[in-house]
Amino acid sequence: MKHKKDYSFKLINNNNISLALILGSGVELENRLVESKNILFEDNTGVHHKLIYSCTMQGKAILVFKGRKHFYEGWSLDEITANIKTASGCGVENILVTNAAGGLNENFKDGELMLITSHINFIDKLKFDSSNLNRNFYSKDLQKKFLEACKMVNVKIHEGTYGCYTGPTYETKAEIRVQKKIKLDAAGMSTVPEVIFAAGKNINVVAVSVITNLLKENAVLTASHDEVLSMAASASKDLNKVLPAFINQLN
Ligand code: HPA
Is there a contact between 63 and 8 (Cβ–Cβ < 8 Å)?
no
H helices present in 75-139, as ranges: 77-80, 82-89
Q: How far apart are CA 182 and CA 163, in angstroms?
A: 10
The reply to whether omega before 168 is within 30° of 0 (cis) is: yes
Ligand 1 pocket check: which of 23, 171, 185, 208 to mutate, most ligand atoms within 8 Å of Cβ? 171
Residue 110 within any structural domain of the chain: yes
Residue 139 within any structural domain of the chain: yes
Atom nearest to 222 CA in ligand 1: 7
151-205 residue pLDDT tens: 999 999 999 999 999 989 999 999 999 999 999 999 999 999 999 999 889 999 9
Q: Which domain holds residue 50?
A: 9-247
Q: How far is the CA of 24 from the centre of ligand 1 (A)?
A: 11
Residue 4 within any structural domain of the chain: no
**Beta strand residue intervals within 10-49, DSSP E:** 17-23, 36-43
Q: How far is the CA of 143 from the centre of ligand 1 (A)?
A: 23
User: Which residues are CB-neighbours of 138 under 8 A, at least 6 positions away?
Assistant: 116, 117, 118, 195, 205, 206, 207
- Residue type at 99 in one-letter notation: N
* Domain tally, the chain: 1
Residue 86 within any structural domain of the chain: yes
Is there a contact between 115 and 158 (Cβ–Cβ < 8 Å)?
yes
129-152 residue pLDDT tens: 766 667 789 999 999 999 999 999
Residue 3 within any structural domain of the chain: no
What's the CATH number where 26 sits?
Answer: 3.40.50.1580
CB of residue 97 inside a 6 A radius of ligand 1: no
Is there a contact between 47 and 228 (Cβ–Cβ < 8 Å)?
no
pLDDT of residue 4: 45
**CA count, 13 A, side-chain hemisphere, 32:** 5
CB of residue 223 inside a 6 A radius of ligand 1: yes
Residue 61 within any structural domain of the chain: yes
Place 12 in a pLDDT band, splitting at 50, 70 and 90: very low
Phi and psi at residue 186, in whole multiples of 5°? -150, 155
**CA count, 13 A, side-chain hemisphere, 93:** 9
Q: Which of 198, 196, 227, 214 is nearest to 93 (CA)?
A: 198
Q: Taking residues 109-117, what's their average pLDDT? A: 96
CB of residue 215 inside a 6 A radius of ligand 1: yes
Q: How far apart are CA 79 and CA 107, in angstroms?
A: 35
Q: How far is the CA of 50 from the centre of ligand 1 (A)?
A: 20
